[in-house]
Amino acid sequence: MPRALSEQETEAFRERLCDAAARLYVDEGPGAVTLRRLAGELGVGTMTPYRYFDNKEDIITAVRTRGLNRFSEALERALDTPGDGRTRSRAVRDAYIAFARGNTATYRLMFEYPETRRDDPAYRQAHERMWRTIAAHVEVMIAEGTVEADAPILGHQIWAALHGAVMLEIAGMLPEGFDAASLHTRTVSALFDTARPTV
pLDDT digit string, tens, across residues 43-62? 998 888 888 888 888 888 99
* pLDDT < 70 regions, the chain: 1-5, 199
Handedness of CA 76, 77, 80, 85 (dihedral sign): negative
Largest separation between any pair of C-alpha atoms in the chain: 74
Domains of the chain: 1-53 (1.10.10), 64-194 (1.10.357.10)
Enter the pTM of the model: 0.88
Q: Residue 2's pLDDT is what?
A: 53
Q: Give the chain's mean pLDDT.
A: 90
Q: Residue 1's pLDDT is what?
A: 45
Residue 103: which of 18, 37, 160 has the closest Cα?
Answer: 18
For residues 179 and 182, what is the distance between their CA atoms, to the nearest angstrom? 6
